[in-house]
Amino acid sequence: MERSVIENKAATPLRRREPIHLLKELKAIFYLIPFLVPFTVFYLWPVIRGAWMSLHVWGIQGMQKYVALANYKKILENPDFYSYLWNSFYFVLLCAPTVLVLGLVLALIINQRIWVRTLIRSVFFLPYVLSVSVVSFIWLKLFDAKNGPVNAVLHALGMNADINWLTDHRFVWWAITIATDWWSVGFVMVLFLAGLQEIPTDHYEAAKIDGANAWQRFWSITLPGLSSVMKIQIFYQIINCLKLFGQVQIMTGGGPGDSTNTMIRYIYVTGFKKDMFGLAAAQSMIFCFIMLLIAVVQFKITDRKDG
Amino acid sequence: MKKFALNIAAVLLALLFIFPLIWMFLTSLKPDGVNVYTLADWVKWSDLNTDNYVKVIRDSQILHWTWNSLVIGVLTTVISILLSSLAAFSFSKLPFRSRGIFYVLIVSGLLIPTEAILIPLYETALHLQLIDNIWAIVLPGLTNPIGILLLKQFMDGVPKDYIEAAQIDGSRSFRLWWSICVPLTRSAMVSVGIFFFILSWNNFLWPYLAITSEENMILSAGLPTFLSNNNMSLNLIMTASAIAAIPTILVFILLQRHIVQGVAMSGVKG
């Protein structure tokens, strides 16, 4: 029943031409008000307020003085900003592709008739319901350099390397990526599974009759069939990776050195540790602008009818 | 043969995936000081006991934090489902001229994540004297537009005839919502609700900032204080993690179908 409900939505376009009828308008808006109140106070207002704060020297005790764009100038002239921004994007480059590919692989496996399929699907999904603190604690200890199981396994496999996963800048991003992939891949898998089930089976049968092998069927039926989920997920994962905070806060504290300090952690430290709210608000504005740009690109791409 | 290899691969992958959780639970059941890293010690079943659980629960506020997480999770979920459903009803069943504008306004809430408005959000909460109060977590948790998007889809599936028939019988629109649309979209509301609950339960950064006293802390944000406590042994840290993980794992096992459905719905919509 629910499937048919979803399909119905296309039939009801949002905009319709109706005469303005004030009472009707007010009545409809009345139903939106319970949502609009918290939305305005805790979302819209902070967005506007943030823009205003970014133009000031501001501390926890309040506004000190108006400085126009001085905060922005200060940020853009500071090399730290670029390295933290790069860290955030570096994590996107590592984590987004791996989680998408792994999620797709898991979905393809689960979509086959395999043993205890539901149980295995649950196992892959399970880490997603854990909080970032639990995930970070587990992996903090798994990656422990001296006694961690990860190094123990490497030893057992004959590798004589004591890898300092969390304190060596060559490995630390991989450690965080592995933890994050483990945590969130189940989510991606479920979406791809839903997408796979939408692809009509007779497409595969037709392709088989035409003599297409498994690899060709994957490229010409499965991937195009998943393209809409894929497009949404690419952008969702980019944004998600850019928001990285909990894992680095708990697992590395931004270290070694500053190598895992991300934009969100930069904003957090500037605002709450150094008590420079104005500067932190300006950093947030720049960061919001970057995310908005990404969102605009997403809309441009997903809106194209042929896609 | 190929099928067999696929099965083996799936099982091995699943074992690899569950290993961290098994390791966490086993470690939490080991006595203090045991070397849990060598295989021989790891599989010594005889020394498993629940002393660590007793110790963590006795020496920390972890049960209190669990309670806080639960209260906040339930409040956030119930209120936000009701608000989302009302708004979805308005968009779906009460044709009005300015709804395009309102819809765009609300959907724009998906663009900028809370993480990027931390500073002004904190300042707002400070002004409203909400800092260190559970409402500081509940109220901003009500602004997620995803519920509206999803529930609107399901409301659109409620046939127009039902609404019109009820209108002819003289029902007011509030009754149309409560007696027709809510029951017909109940399963969607449950799925979205569970999804909201998990989001709230696992919310980290904002509670970490907005709650300052140990007493009002929620589980996800309180947990890291275990690390700053240097004499915490590995066993106890894993015990604390296990205590934090058990409720969500239980919820997941019991309501699996709804959770997976909720995720599938929310993610495909973006």
Please give the mean pLDDT across all residues of chain B: 87
B270 contact partners, CB below 8 Å, separation of at least 6: A232, A235, A236, B110
| pLDDT, tens only, B210-259 | 998 988 999 988 888 877 766 678 888 899 999 999 988 998 899 888 88
CA distance A210 to chain B (A): 22
d(CA B17, CA B7): 15
Q: Is B113 on the interface with A (CB under 8 A)?
A: yes
**Per-residue confidence at A212, pLDDT binned at 50, 70, 90?**
confident
A288–chain B Cβ distance below 8 A for any pair: yes
Q: Cβ(B83)–Cβ(B143) under 8 Å? A: no
Chain A residue whose CA is closest to B221: A133
CB of B237 within 8 Å of any CB in chain A? yes
Identify which of A97, A109, A71, A138 has the alpha carbon closest to the alpha carbon of residue A222. Answer: A109
Residue of chain A whose alpha carbon sits nearest to that of B81 = A35
Phi, psi angle pair for A62, to nearest 5°: 125, -170
Distance CA B98, CA B146 (A): 20
For residue A130, give both structure tokens.
């854990």
Residue A260 backbone dihedrals phi, psi, to 5 degrees? -115, 25
From A2, A124, A268, residue closest to B17, measured CB to CB: A124
For A90-107, how does the pLDDT look when each residue is reduced to its tens digit (9 = 90+)?
999 999 999 999 999 999
The distance of Cα A307 from the centroid of its chain, to the nearest Å, equals 22
Residue A8: closest C-alpha in chain B? B157
The verdict on whether omega for the bond into residue A256 sits within 30 degrees of 0, i.e. cis, is yes
A204 vs A211: CA distance, rounded Å = 10
Cα atoms found within 13 Å of the Cα of residue B6, Cβ hemisphere only: 16
Tens digit of pLDDT for each residue in A59-87?
A: 877 778 888 899 999 999 999 999 999 99
Chosen CATH of B52-267 out of 3.10.180.10, 1.10.10.10, 1.20.1050.10, 1.10.3720.10:
1.10.3720.10
Q: Beta strands of A2-147 (E only): which ranges?
A: 56-59, 62-66
Phi (first) and psi of residue A274, to 5 degrees? -100, 0
Write down the pLDDT at residue A143.
92
> Would you say A294 and A238 are in contact if contact means Cβ atoms under 8 Å apart?
yes
Contact B119 A123 (CB under 8 A): no
B99 vs A: CB within 8 A: yes
Percent of chain B with pLDDT over 90: 44
Higher pLDDT, A3 or A243: A243
Task: Please give the Cα distance from B197 to B80 (Å, whole number).
Answer: 10
pLDDT at B268: 56
Residue B264 touches chain A, beta carbons under 8 Å = yes
Task: Tell me phi and psi for residue A139, to 5 degrees.
Answer: -75, -30
Which of A31, A125, A190 lies nearest to residue B89, judging by beta carbons? A31
**CB count in 10 Å sphere of residue B190:** 15
Per residue, the 3-state secondary structure of A38-53, as one string, reads: HHHHHHHHHHHHHHHH
Q: Which residue has the tokens 């994540």?
A: B113
The CA distance from A219 to A231, in Å, is 16
Reported as a single tens digit per residue, the pLDDT across A109-152 is: 999 888 888 899 999 999 999 999 999 999 998 998 887 888 88
Nearest chain B CA: its distance from A77 CA (Å): 21
On whether the CB atoms of residues B198 and A129 are closer than 8 A, the answer is: yes
When pLDDT is cut at 50, 70 and 90, the band that residue A2 belongs to is very low
Summary mean pLDDT of chain A: 87
Buried b (16+ CB within 10 A) or exposed e, B210-232: bbeeeebbbbbbbbbbbbeeeeb
Question: Does residue A264 sit at the B interface (CB-CB below 8 Å)?
Answer: yes
User: How large is the average pLDDT for residues A17-24?
Assistant: 69
- Residue B7, pLDDT > 70, answer yes
Task: Say if A101 is an interface residue toward chain B (CB within 8 Å).
Answer: no
Contact A175, A143 (CB under 8 A): yes
Least confident of A31-35, A155-159, B83-87, B115-119: A155-159
Query: Domain locations in chain B?
Result: 52-267
Cβ separation A115–B10 shorter than 8 A: yes
Q: Rounded distance, CA B263 to CA B270, Å?
A: 10
Q: Which helix (H) or strand (E) holds B124?
A: helix B118-127
Check residue B34 and give its pLDDT.
Answer: 66
Instruction: Name beta bridge partners: A63.
Output: A58
Q: Which of residues 44-83 of B touch A (CB under 8 A)?
A: 82-83
Which residues 47-66 on chain A approach chain B with CB closer than 8 angstroms? Answer: 47, 49-50, 53, 60
Compare all CA atoms of chain B with the CA of A109 and give the residue at the minimum distance. Answer: B10
Beta bridge partners of A57: A65
Nearest alpha carbon to residue A185 among A252, A248, A123, A114: A123
B26 reaches A (C-beta below 8 A): no
For an interface test with B, the pick among A133, A235, A288 (most B C-beta atoms closer than 10 Å) comes out as A133
| B19-56 exposure pattern, b = at least 16 Cβ within 10 A, e = fewer | ebbebbbbbbbbeeebebbeeeebeeeeeeeeebbeeb
Question: Looking at CA atoms only, how far is residue A204 from chain B in angstroms?
Answer: 18
Give the residue, B37 or B55, on which the prediction is more confident. B55
Residue of B nearest to A189 (CA): B264
Distance linking the first and last C-alpha atoms of chain A: 28
pLDDT at A144: 87
Cβ separation of A27 and B260 shorter than 8 Å?
no
Predicted structure pTM score: 0.89
Residues of A in contact with B86 (CB under 8 A): 31-32, 34-35
